[in-house]
Amino acid sequence: MDEPVLLTGAGGQVGRAILEGIGDQYDWRLFFHSQPDEEPEAEYFVGDVTDDEVVTDAMADVGAVVHLAGDPRKTAPWDSVLSNNIDGTQNMYEIAVDHGVEKFVFASSNHAVGAFETDERTPEMYRTHDEFRLDGSEFPRPGNLYGVSKATGEILGRYYHDEYGITVCNIRIGNLTRGHPPIDYERGQAMWLSHRDCAQIHACALEADYEFEIVYGISDNDRKYYSIERAKEVLGYRPMDNSAEWNGDEKVADEN
Amino acid sequence: MDEPVLLTGAGGQVGRAILEGIGDQYDWRLFFHSQPDEEPEAEYFVGDVTDDEVVTDAMADVGAVVHLAGDPRKTAPWDSVLSNNIDGTQNMYEIAVDHGVEKFVFASSNHAVGAFETDERTPEMYRTHDEFRLDGSEFPRPGNLYGVSKATGEILGRYYHDEYGITVCNIRIGNLTRGHPPIDYERGQAMWLSHRDCAQIHACALEADYEFEIVYGISDNDRKYYSIERAKEVLGYRPMDNSAEWNGDEKVADEN
């Protein structure tokens, strides 16, 4: 990707993981919701993704968008996700296709399918021996209104791909934590995404050749109930981490 | 269903077909967007489904909701479907679960899956010999922003069912025309829904015992590419019409 890549939500947790990991590999154009504390090294914009004017300015000459911006709270109220996540994502797509942007990577979420974690299936589904898998082809089952907004973002991507041909990758991001997996939290260990795997899967989504994809963004955790086969096959994703390699906050030494 | 059934969009095409067909079978409470020309025989409300106050009044003591209201135009602009269709449907669900409503029937649309009709598949998929079928389990592929809003309505239903236990049936309504199928319009013949079949499938959705369903609301057309097996099996739907029985606007006589 030689042209600039517009990264929204650049100040958030996922945005920081991406910039730390692959910040020097792209000509980034950053989009922040509020003025960042430190002056960014890349060109940047501050505004709301529902604001046509600033998004239009930010989209000029962009080759790809990585759209992370939105209310990230799983308890976010409807009015906030309706505006920030649903309306904001539609605005990003509309202006992206207007500008002939080639590729759009959308930060979806495990919460788009959170209600598959039924009382009958949990906690067994979080454990290594359990063989239940979601593969990205399923009809969404959001666990909260935030998840509804993320599933809607995926469907907007489906529409803008089918109607305008823009390449779309939806990454259902798991549990991103820095350094080590969540402790004493089986669900979080099942869907852990390390910072370096987070950066890598976004680079894969920017580089690979595909049409429309929904993939799970997690590390290669023994406990996983999200399949990463599609991400490996289509995007060339090669996760380097696995929550099973950690015991508490200590990495388990490889005995060999 | 002994308790009142709240029907939104009561003045629209689908609402009129339902009231003509099964108007005397339920204690209807009607919800209109604007004052109807003729005084309705049933109790009624006039307002916007995004308005908490009038929806709350209308929802009192209701046993089931048939939610048809929304901007029905396939070319409706985003701002309209975002408010009328997406926000309005969320408001209806929120107030329905607040009031302990048992069942929610949502008028989804063929446009939620319109982009399955690719250049490669059409017009063959509209023809009797073609075996392509959609069955309601597929990830939506909307053909327009109206279709995005209907797919989002389905996902809202999935969430409110999973979270609150309300029974939900989404009916992806085909091409509803009065009297006879569309003429010289293969797609419309493939997804024709006669008025009496429209009324019947809604009665089935109100009477049957199920949890969460997505079904296709069409007559038993020879040309169909939407499966009606699920509607027959789970709802007990027994369509009486078939667009193939019509030739132009004349009904084809049964030779036997």
In a domain, B255, yes or no: no
Phi, psi of B151 (to 5 degrees): -60, -40
Task: With beta carbons under 8 A apart, name residues in chain B contacting A137.
Answer: 139
CATH of residue A75: 3.40.50.720
Q: What is the per-residue pLDDT across B121-146, written as a single tens digit (0 to 9) for each? A: 999 999 999 999 999 999 999 999 99
Tokens 């939506």 found at: B140
In a domain, A17, yes or no: yes
Q: Do B49 and B66 contact (CB within 8 A), yes or no?
A: no
Asked whether residue B254 carries a pLDDT value surpassing 80, the answer given is no
> Among A87-101, B6-20, B71-85, B234-248, which stretch is predicted with the lowest mean pLDDT?
B234-248
Distance in Å, alpha carbon of A129 to nearest chain B alpha carbon: 26
pTM: predicted TM-score of the whole model, two decimal places: 0.96
Asked whether residue A254 carries a pLDDT value surpassing 90, the answer given is no
Asked whether residue B111 carries a pLDDT value surpassing 70, the answer given is yes
- Please tell me the distance from the alpha carbon of residue B215 to that of residue A149, in angstroms, as a whole number: 23
User: What is the value of ipTM here, to two decimals?
Assistant: 0.96
In a domain, A254, yes or no: no
Q: Do A83 and A74 contact (CB within 8 A), yes or no?
A: no
Give the total number of structural domains in chain A.
1
Please indicate if any CB of chain B lies within 8 Å of the CB of A142. Answer: yes
Q: Do A158 and B143 touch (CB under 8 A)?
A: no
**Annotation marks residue A225 as catalytic:** no
Q: What is the mean pLDDT of residues B60-68?
A: 98
In a domain, A72, yes or no: yes
Please indicate if any CB of chain A lies within 8 Å of the CB of B141. Answer: yes
In a domain, A67, yes or no: yes
Please give the sequence-ordered ranges of beta strands (E in DSSP) within B126-238, or none if there are none: 167-173, 175-176, 192-193, 212-217
Residues 6+ apart with CB under 8 A from B247: none
In a domain, A94, yes or no: yes
In a domain, B253, yes or no: no
| pLDDT on residue B252 | 74
Please indicate if any CB of chain A lies within 8 Å of the CB of B115. Answer: yes
Q: Do A158 and B138 touch (CB under 8 A)?
A: no
Tokens 């960042």 found at: A36
| pLDDT on residue B256 | 42
Where in the sequence is the domain holding B41, given as residue range(s)? Answer: 5-247
Q: Do A139 and B148 touch (CB under 8 A)?
A: no
**Chain B, 158-187: which have a CB under 8 Å from a chain A CB?**
158-159, 162-163
Single out the catalytic residue among A44, A146, A216, A237. Answer: A146
Q: What is the mean pLDDT of residues A99-120?
A: 98
In a domain, A256, yes or no: no
